Each structure stands twice: as structure tokens, then as C-alpha cells.
Amino acid sequence: MALISFTNKGIYCKQGNFYIDPWKPVDLAVTTHGHADHVKWGNKAYLCHELTKPILEQRLGHDLHIETLPYNKEISINGVKVSLFPAGHVIGSSQIRLEYKGEICVVSGDYKVEYDGISTAFEPVKCHSFVSESTFGLPIYKWKPQQLVFDEIKNWIADNHDKQKTSVLVAYSLGKAQRLIKNLAADHHIYVHNSIANLNERFIQAGVDLPKTIRITPEIKKEELQQGIVIVPPALADGRWIKNLQSAATGVCSGWMQVRASRRWRSADAGFALSDHADWPGLLSAIKATTAEKVYVTHGFVSTFSKYLNEIGIASEEVVTRYGNEEEEEKKELEENTATANGPSPQQDIATTE
């Protein structure tokens, strides 16, 4: 009997009677990471990595029943051995390893194989079946080494400074923002939106080493912002406050920026192909390393990627899930928790809380 099934509530393990990243309320949600498309409010209990707990508390509230595990520690849930392994996606992100009567299944959630210097590096896990994302499951998506991308960003920021422009980087509050902070803080003051500042505080309290940033408040003058770097989530990328900054230049940090049309679509001044997901070679190398006999392909270029796996001799099946809309989910979350998303002043737009 298969260890998992794909239901209208999410990925279900019948033997253990729990779900992985369910999108409807269940009794026990084993959670891969804290992005809003993978974790929902309303579950009776959550099980996640130790560094995912503060994310859930920040985004869903403190009145939650959350159990945690470190990486590589095994527990039993109704006879199913459950353990977490690094996914390399964001801080605390995990692959869920299930074992029952000799059968091993790994649900990877979202992952990337290049070590980013802040998330625990991806660790391939041998298994019989593997659930893989395919967000960037097309051959066109091949990332440059991270350091080259950060060199491009630094050069862009220096050019903006010479032209007396304010550098505004658009990045997810969880994951991309922390990578930017880690790699850019040595050269400039970094000003961040509340949604990013709140998560940073949680991480620091949990022992994560993050450089100091400055929370954007109405008291901060535009001239001050111009001297540093501003980081905001995608939901605020087109906010009118950007137009009121000191000659703002906007740079979108996303894997979608690999394709020029995406830059035009975002109306950005610059685009940097910096992603927290595996590219095409990364997906293939990760899957091959598992030696899985069966691969279930979820959110992304599901059809193309699954077809290719079958062509190269890896049995694959397309699976419909509700993952993959990180930006839309983050936008919805900001809207639900923001009292004045379009307030009367540009600074109020900046300082809205998550």
C-alpha cells in the first residue's frame, strides 16, 4: 500500500493518520516550511522544524499547538517513522521522510540544491517514492551561482547611489529577504518593511545570526532611505509610496526574472534571477540522488517536467495540489492584516504591519 495519497485536503498518510502541508483544516499537519501556500490556520496540531515554529507563530498566531523536531531525529506517529531533512529552501524548511514496514516516501515541499549561506543545505534522502515541486521545471531555468547574482545586485545599487536614486529590492518576506540582508548588510544600512522586520526578530530570538536592519517607520526621511537599501515584499512592489521616494529604482529578485518578459510584466527597473527554488538541473540532480522508483510532480511546470522524467526512465506522475502561489498568498496575508494598505501618506504605506 502506498504511504501517501493526494486528497481534497492535502497529502495524506493513512497509516499515520496525518497530512503534510494540508490546505484544509485537519487534526495533525506535518509542515514542510512557513510559506503561506504550504501552511494554513485552523489545524488542531502542527509538527515542524524548530526554526519553522516562530514563523507559524508570527503568521498564524500564538494560540497554536505546535510540536517541533530538529533535523535527522526520528519519531513514530501511529507506527509511521517520521523525520525531517533539510530542504535548503528557506530557514527551517524540511523534507518529510516517512517510513512504514520498509517502505520509504519523502515529501520535499519546496527546495533548492545550492547552499545559500543561511538556510541549512539541502540533503538528498534515499527513498522509494519522492514528491517533487516543479516551479522552475523547464530547461530555460538555469541559475547563475549565487555570488554572481549578488555581484550584479551590488553593482546596480552602486550605480543607483551614483545617480542619487533609492535602491528598492522586492523580495519575499520569508527567505529571499533574509538572503539579501545577509549578503548586502556589510555595505549599506538596510531598511525593511514590517513583515520582514517581524520575521527577522523571530529568527534572531531563535538563535539565527542575521545582520541588523532598520524597520521602516513614518519618522524615517526619504533622504535617509536613499543612502541605504530598501527591501519590501512583492505585495507592495507597485505601491504609490515607491513613486514618492527619492527617484526610486526597483529591482525584483525572483527566478522569474530569468525571462526578460517577466521584467516588463513587473514594470521593474531591474530584475535579478535569485530564487529559493531549484532550477532545471537542480531538480534533476535532486531527484536522481534519491534513487526513487516513483516521482510525484506537483506545482509548477508539472506536465513538461513529469513527461521528461518518464522519457529518461524515471517513473513519474502528475499531481494536482494547491501549492505554488507564494506571492498571491503573501499578498492576501498582507491585505488581511493591514489596516491602511492605501493610507493617506507614502510612509504609512511603507509601515503597514503584517
* Amino acid sitting at position 55: I
Using an 8 Å Cβ cutoff, are 273 and 108 in contact?
no
Grid coordinates given for 201: 526578530
List, for residues 250-309, the tens digit of each pLDDT value. Answer: 999 999 999 866 655 567 899 999 999 999 999 999 999 999 999 999 999 999 999 999
3-class secondary structure, 72: coil
pLDDT of amino acid 1: 61
Pick 146-274+335-350's CATH classification: 2.30.30, 3.90.320, 3.40.50, 3.40.1350: 3.40.50
How many percent of the chain have pLDDT more than 90? 83
Sequence ranges of the chain with CATH classification 3.60.15.10:
5-140+276-323
Per-residue pLDDT band at 224 (split at 50, 70, 90): very high
Q: What's residue 346's pLDDT? A: 32
- What is the pLDDT at residue 266? 60
pLDDT for residue 33:
98
Which pLDDT score is estimated for 167?
Answer: 96
* Of the listed ranges 164-178, 183-197, 324-338, the one predicted with least confidence: 324-338
Confidence of residue 242 (pLDDT cuts 50, 70, 90): confident
Comparing C-alpha atoms, which of 99, 109, 115, 71 is closest to residue 4? 99
Output the CA–CA distances (angstroms, integers) from residue 206 to 42, 50, 100, 194, in the order listed.
24, 9, 33, 18
In tens, the pLDDT along 30-61 reads 999 999 999 999 999 999 999 999 999 999 99
Q: What DSSP assignment string belongs to 124-167?
A: ----SEEEEEETT-STT--PPPHHHHHHHHHHHHHHHHHTT-EE
* Model confidence at 342: pLDDT above 90: no
Length of the chain: 354
d(CA 221, CA 168): 15
**Helix (H), strand (E) counts: the chain:** 11, 19
Which ranges in the chain are annotated with CATH 3.40.50? Answer: 146-274+335-350
Distance CA 92, CA 70 (A): 9
Q: Which fold has domain 5-140+276-323?
A: Metallo-beta-lactamase; Chain A (3.60.15)
Mean pLDDT of the chain: 90
First to last CA, the chain: 43
Average pLDDT on 309-331 reads 84
Q: Residue with C-alpha cell 506522475?
A: 317
Residues 51, 118, 133, CA angle at the centre, nearest 5°? 75
